Chain A
């Protein structure tokens, strides 16, 4: 009975994962197809990768996506981190107001955030394009940085910064040399989140862009009308990069921890051996 349950659960997990991963695998396989067909694999070729590199629209969209993700993440990380640090030192009214406002872009449907920004930019007479897209991305990334950094700030001893300053550090030094190193895990988590959110975004970018500025999502959206295996090549590259990054982010800390444990174990053993040999003497 128990064994049958185990086999059943393995089959169930396999079916669910097939559902998640078959589209991904199919995309990757057909990116190497030699013909335009998306159903019959006619032979191995790299022609879609070549077409990808030569496609000016897609390459400029990749440039837009990456540059916006990098700049938006950098600004959102700095803005979010200093806000989270300042937040715990403010009066309750300010704190609650900011936390509630900060939750709005997280809770609201993306499409509502998107049209709000679209109306804002058009009533401020700002030409929609790269700059508006960048501003919008900073706008929806920063809340995620704040929500991942703020709990770390709250768990800090509030006297740490004071101690540093009593010992002669300037406020800036206390911030960069004491507080920031202690909340690093939260900052990294927020950074990773905002980078991937920015790369992934379609809805908000779609509404606030203009002037022919497009990121990867918008280009794919415009291309789905006809079959285009070039998108498969693009997908395959994006998928590989993301899976490798996630595996590194998730597995490296584990490996480092294990290595440290091993070293500690080794030291312990060596000490034990030393003691033993001394006893023998």
Chain B
């Protein structure tokens, strides 16, 4: 019994150095000045004050807006897809769900790259439009292309949890609702949707978190001037070199996400038991 107790030691040390210490460093960097040297360390609140300058506040607002739109689209499209899939026999459901998950296993950059050739000004969609005699539309480097890219990347994360809740549902409950005189829409809203709320909450949080912190898709499909939180952090670390300010933004992002996850756990007590 006792023999295997010490097996956790390597990971205890590993996780402390590579998971806990980096978090401390981010916090430390976010409240100090002086960049990379720990010798002349100086505490300051400037980094957080800087975030509230209008230029940066706008980036936050823009990210949250885009995240909300992406999540909304994913929720509507994904819920319908999950619902439609859940009406098939178990065997067909398994195949369809596998088909939903396959794209998520393919390198995200390669999939995003494919969208560039579809959406660009002389891309495939515009050539089709011209064949039909319509005017070409500028789609690349707009909100539209960024949202398309994000939805395509994140939709499976909405479909899977909702489908899981819908598949677990007892269908006799809906029949009972009909027998008791409920109209189809009422039955759906009061029974099916209510029972799928855990999946909806999980999917919504997941998609929202991934979309506000993404920086690759906005950069590739939105162009260089399209700045979201993720791009702002990248800029601070890669090109500007203000690691302290970058750490402050990251910390704020991490805290915001932590709060959202704890809200999710309150709404959905089932998920607390896992792991």
Contacts and interface: CB of A to CB of B under 8 A. Distances in A.
B19 interface: yes
Interface string A16-33: 110111111011001000
A106 to B, nearest CB: 9
Given A98-B15, A116-B25, A12 B80 contact: yes
Interface stretch (A46-54, A182-190, A195-203, A272-280): A195-203
B172 interface: no
Nearest to A21: B103
Interface residues of A, number: 84
A238 to B, nearest CB: 6
A152 to B, nearest CB: 12
Contacts of B243: 119
Contact of A38 (B1, B108, B123): B123
Contacts of A119: 22, 25-26, 29, 243, 247
Contacts of B234: 111
Contact of A19 (B17, B38, B152, B247): B152
Given A79-B11, A94-B8, A118-B237, A23 B216 contact: no
Interface centre among B2, B9, B120, B275 (most CB of A within 10 A): B275
Given A142-B11, A161-B4, A220-B113, A120 B22 contact: yes
Nearest to A170: B3
Q: Looking at chain B, what size class is its interface with the partner chain?
A: 35 or more
Main SS of the interface on chain A?
A: helix
B114 A23 contact: yes
Contacts of B105: 196, 200, 242, 246
B254 interface: yes
A13 B246 contact: no
Contacts of B220: 221, 224
Contacts of A68: none
B113 to A, nearest CB: 6
A243 B107 CA distance: 12
A227 B124 CA distance: 14
A26 B81 CA distance: 23
7 cross-chain pairs, A with B, having the tightest CB-CB distances, nearest first:
A116-B22, A86-B7, A109-B213, A23-B114, A86-B8, A38-B117, A83-B11
